[in-house]
Amino acid sequence: MASKLKQLWWLMLIFAVCNVVMAVLLYQSSTAEPQEEDVAPIAAKDSYSVGILQSDNLPEQDKMTAGVLAALEAEGYKKNVKLEIIKADGNDKKLEAAAKKFARTKKDMIIAVGTDSAKEAAKVTKSIPVVGVGVMNFKRDKAFADHQNFTGNSDNPPVLNQISMARRCFSVSKLGILYNPQDQASVLQVEILRDVAERKGLHLYEVAFSPDKLAAPQIDKLVGHVTALYVPEDGDVLAHFDEIVKMMNAAGIPIIGEQAEMVRRGAVLSVSPSYYRMGFSGGRIAAKLLKGDLIPADLPIVHQSDPDIVINMKEVNLLNIPLPGDLWQRARKLYLYDGQPARP
């Protein structure tokens, strides 16, 4: 009896070990790096299958996607391109599943709108041509290292232009930034801002923001220490943007917004990309690849050279900011008292 129990115990142990080994193998196969494959020009065909992956349901990304579609149509790729557009709505699992689907179904091309989309595409393929649209830190990000199948355009914010423009209107000698140190994009912003501050002789006052704590006490840390506030595109910070505007206005502190949408909501100004034009640029890059003469590595990562100057005139008047006349004339969009743009 004892020998049978011992034999049964060994069988159960072997079975358990086998299960563990299988689980490890399955996990490794699901998380493995994409296999190294040759990147070839897209073969000519009657109809191309293109997947557009959009990580978030944001106005900026919607504009980029619209620009991509307009450019493809303008370049003659409408009837002969079968598009599949998936919006992940900020859901990481949905984004991962969509990227894997595009790789599994062997799309002729993937157009990745936004940084997260591009990074997810990099995880699943090294052979399918990928055009990244509005990707932060495209050239330096390790996620895209050794990927000859990637090209597109970068969404690195023109921080130097933003600060240079702002200092013509108000003091930025003591510049604050409110950011979540767990947000990689925000950390990149801080690093860029530190470099700009050093070059321009500014004092940078950093306040780390935690979404798990009350917002008001964290925002209040800026008051009395800064002459202006820079707000990066940080989702946790932007969730409290209206409160930030209210408290900064009460303290007489102007806000520089990374993105144009922040100006509509109460920042004084921004120098930021036109997302539609950025998308159009990405669509034209995609069209070049569809012609079949080039691979992504043949096309350099591009930057938008004509960002928009956006100004909130309500804030200018509220904070008594002496706005230079030429800046007013150069602004591509002015928000007036009702919050509506005076110039499209």
Tens-digit pLDDT profile for residues 45-96: 999 999 999 998 888 899 999 999 999 999 999 889 999 999 999 899 999 9
23 vs 106: which has the higher pLDDT = 106
Residues 119 and 237 in one domain: no
Q: Is residue 111 part of a domain?
A: yes
State percent of the chain over pLDDT 90. 63
Q: Is residue 344 part of a domain?
A: no
68 vs 145: which has the higher pLDDT = 68
Asked if the model's pLDDT at residue 34 lies above 80, the reply is: no
Predicted pLDDT at 17: 54
Predicted pLDDT at 31: 45
Residues 54 and 200 in one domain: no
Residues 174 and 320 in one domain: yes
Asked if the model's pLDDT at residue 33 lies above 90, the reply is: no
Phi and psi at residue 324, to the nearest 5°: -60, 140
Q: Is residue 189 part of a domain?
A: yes
Predicted pLDDT at 143: 78
Predicted pLDDT at 272: 84
Residues 148 and 174 in one domain: no
Q: Is residue 326 part of a domain?
A: yes
Q: Is residue 16 part of a domain?
A: no
DSSP strand pairing (228-231 vs 174-179): parallel
227 CB neighbour count, 10 Å cutoff: 17
Q: Which helix (H) or strand (E) holds 228?
A: strand 228-231
CATH code of residue 78:
3.40.50.2300
The CA dihedral of 331, 332, 337, 340, to the nearest 10 degrees, is -170
Residues 313 and 215 in one domain: yes
Residues 183 and 124 in one domain: no
Residues 235 and 180 in one domain: yes
Let me know the angle formed at the C-alpha of 63 by 97 and 139, rounded to the nearest 5 degrees: 65
Domain that holds residue 108: 48-155+276-303
* 27-41, 64-78, 314-328: which is most confident: 64-78
Q: Is residue 87 part of a domain?
A: yes
pLDDT band for position 340 (cuts 50, 70, 90): low
238 CB neighbour count, 10 Å cutoff: 18
Q: Is residue 315 part of a domain?
A: yes
Predicted pLDDT at 30: 45
Span 12-38, average pLDDT: 53
Span 290-316, average pLDDT: 89
Tens of pLDDT, residues 193-236: 999 999 999 999 999 999 999 999 999 999 999 999 999 988 89
Name, in order, each residue with C-beta under 8 angstroms of 309's C-beta and a sequence gap of 6 or more.
165, 269, 270, 271, 327, 330, 331, 332
Asked if the model's pLDDT at residue 275 lies above 50, the reply is: yes
Name, in order, each residue with C-beta under 8 angstroms of 272's C-beta and a sequence gap of 6 or more.
157, 158, 162, 257, 258, 259, 260, 307, 308, 310
Q: Is residue 327 part of a domain?
A: yes
Residues 150 and 175 in one domain: no
- Residue 18's identity, in one-letter code, is C
Show the DSSP H helices in 53-203 as ranges. 59-74, 92-104, 115-124, 159-166, 184-200
